[in-house]
Amino acid sequence: MRGSGFTLLVMGIMILAVVVLAPSIKNFVEQRAEISELQRSVDEAKTQSQDLDEERTRWSDPAYIRAQARERLYFVMPGEVSYLVLDDIAVAQQAEQPASDSVQETASDWAGSLLASLAVAGLGDPSTDELAPDAVESVPAP
């Protein structure tokens, strides 16, 4: 009986230790998770800070500023002419097609195409937009 009493005493002490230590262990695990989350947040902030430093360095370069003004605001240097292509979807679709390795000859009747184009242009009815004097844009001389 002494062995089983001792066993019960050890079991009771172990249960008491688990009950006493469980909240501390839970807090420890929660704190480690929070520390890991905060460390990840700090790493992200450092990465973002480095990216912003690199961007600030780029913006201090006059060539980069000039390039951004051209790209974003469509600025041009004095004496240059800027052309803006609208609806360039056909060009994008054409660029996606793979190039062939062999040379192919395209059969075209350029004289017939020219004659057809002249006939359509000469015989077509002009729309009211084309006849309006406001539709004519003046192009400044270079």
Write down the pTM of the prediction. 0.42
Q: Residue 58's pLDDT is what? A: 94
Residue 129 CB partners (closer than 8 Å, separation 6+): 135
- For the chain, the structural domain boundaries read 3-123
At 135, which helix (H) or strand (E)?
none
Residue 64 CB partners (closer than 8 Å, separation 6+): 58
14-68 residue pLDDT tens: 999 988 888 899 999 999 999 999 999 999 999 999 999 999 999 999 999 999 9
103 has pLDDT over 70: yes
Max CA separation in the chain (angstroms): 121
Work out whether the CA dihedral 47, 52, 53, 59 comes out positive or negative: positive
Q: What value does the mean pLDDT of the chain take?
A: 82
Q: How far apart are CA 98 and CA 120, in angstroms?
A: 34
- With bands split at pLDDT 50, 70 and 90, how would you rate the model's confidence at 3? low
92 has pLDDT over 50: yes
Q: How far apart are CA 49 and CA 55, in angstroms?
A: 10
Residue 104 CB partners (closer than 8 Å, separation 6+): none
Q: Residue 111's pLDDT is what? A: 86
96 has pLDDT over 90: no
- With bands split at pLDDT 50, 70 and 90, how would you rate the model's confidence at 127? low
Yes or no: say if 75 and 69 are a contact pair by the CB < 8 Å rule.
Answer: yes
Between 90 and 50, residue with greater pLDDT: 50
